[in-house]
Amino acid sequence: DAGVTQSPTHLIKTRGQHVTLRCSPISGHKSVSWYQQVLGQGPQFIFQYYEKEERGRGNFPDRFSARQFPNYSSELNVNALLLGDSALYLCASSFATARNEQFFGPGTRLTVL
Amino acid sequence: AQRVTQPEKLLSVFKGAPVELKCNYSYSGSPELFWYVQYSRQRLQLLLRHISRESIKGFTADLNKGETSFHLKKPFAQEEDSAMYYCAFAGGGSSNTGKLIFGQGTTLQVKP
């Protein structure tokens, strides 16, 4: 198993554009969480999905949305990009939610110009 | 508010010296605490969690509810321990949704 995979690796967008980031969890894992990591800071929780339902949402504006598909992969969408959205976006998968170890992907580096 | 504080951005020690990476949390309930590590050009990975009470790669961490701390310790640092270390917290009990709150991270630099 390759572990959690994310695509693309890097992405450059301009202000006002929309972006879609993708994540494939470890086989057998049903929960996916998204985190934003701004340079010099720890990851900040955005969303958690389990069995295709949203189970948690962090303090992010409505421009951020996500979904989970029947195969448990997930997409993170960000609309009307701002310069401040430039960050490393991490996906983590786990078998379930509470008390389950989260395994992180390599991240997608988003640069907004 | 739930928060994790790692007061040191950088900790530099010599090989063989003891290491203590500090972590304090603010939460009134029974938290679950974790230490994650990120080696150069690798992904974030779990180092240890307080409920397992394990020693991983010589590292230990004890949850001190009185001081709301979860410091990471190793008696003799090795050069391969050089990495970024994040303390993370999840609300315990019924409030534990698996959402992790991370500290800002501490870079550990072990000099030869």
Tallying the residues shown for chain B, one arrives at: 112
Q: Which domains does chain A have, with CATH numbers?
A: 5-96 (2.60.40.10)
* % of chain A surpassing 90 pLDDT: 86
Quote the pLDDT of residue A98: 67
User: What tens digit of pLDDT does each residue of A19-53 get?
Assistant: 999 999 999 999 999 999 999 899 999 999 999 99
- Tell me which of A5, A89, A102, A103 to substitute to probe the interface with B (most B C-beta atoms closer than 10 Å): A102
Alpha-carbon span A56 to A96, nearest angstrom: 13
* Contact call for A48 and B97, based on CB within 8 A: yes
CB < 8 Å to B50, chain A: none
CB < 8 Å to A106, chain B: 43
Q: Which domains does chain B have, with CATH numbers?
A: 3-111 (2.60.40.10)
Ranges under pLDDT 70 in chain B? 91-97
H/E segment holding residue B53: none
Instruction: Name the residue with higher pLDDT: A15 or B33.
Output: A15
Give the bridge partners for B74, in sequence order. B19
Q: How open is the CA angle A88-B40-B18, to the nearest 5 degrees?
A: 120
Q: Before A8, cis peptide (omega within 30)? A: yes
Instruction: Name the residue with higher pLDDT: A85 or B1.
Output: A85
Nearest-by-Cβ selection for A100 from B86, B98, B101:
B98
* Contact call for B32 and A99, based on CB within 8 A: yes
Quote the pLDDT of residue A1: 62
Nearest-by-Cβ selection for A45 from B44, B96, B101:
B101
| Nearest Cα residue to B40 out of B80, B3, B83 | B83
